[in-house]
Amino acid sequence: MEKINLEQKFSLFDDYWSPKIVGELNDVHVKLAKLKGEFIWHHHENEDELFMVVKGNLLIKFRDQDIQLREGEFLIVPKGIEHKPIAEEEVHLILIEPKSTLNTGNVQDERTTQGEWI
């Protein structure tokens, strides 16, 4: 059992769109990600996904609306809902999601990952 310092963990990686696992509780992973640029449209068949912004502004596009998340805000995207994250400037993000979650959801591409522990 060890406490996690978010700032220290964010200092350990620089790659974008590649979530790192920093904790697990029951069936859930806590991940950190750095985002910059545009991600792909995707959805998760079975997993709800929590996005919490700790630095920057994250735009999440949906088919029927856009939602802008700022520092200290979070959004839970329910399973099945298509979304496309966009970070004009670098964003630091906490993700809470079931362990089975792939970052690209129903799509497989060169960025697809379930996350690695740091």
Closer to a second copy by Cβ: residue 54 or 109: 54
Closer to a second copy by Cβ: residue 12 or 76: 76
Contacts 24+ apart (CB under 8 A), 71-75: 74/50, 75/50, 75/51
Out of 40, 57, 59, 73, the residue judged to bind a second copy by CB under 8 A: 73
- Which residues 27-56 are close enough to bind a second copy by CB under 8 A? 27-28, 30, 47-50
Q: Is 11 in the site for a second copy (CB under 8 A)?
A: no
Contact 58, 69 (CB under 8 A): yes
3-state SS, residue 10: helix
The residue assigned the tokens 């995207």 is 77
Which residues partner with 55 through β-bridges?
92
DSSP designation for 24: E
Q: Is 7 in the site for a second copy (CB under 8 A)?
A: yes
Q: Is 78 in the site for a second copy (CB under 8 A)?
A: yes
User: For binding to a second copy (CB under 8 A), which residues are involved?
Assistant: 1-7, 23-28, 30, 47-50, 62, 67, 69, 72-78, 81, 96-98
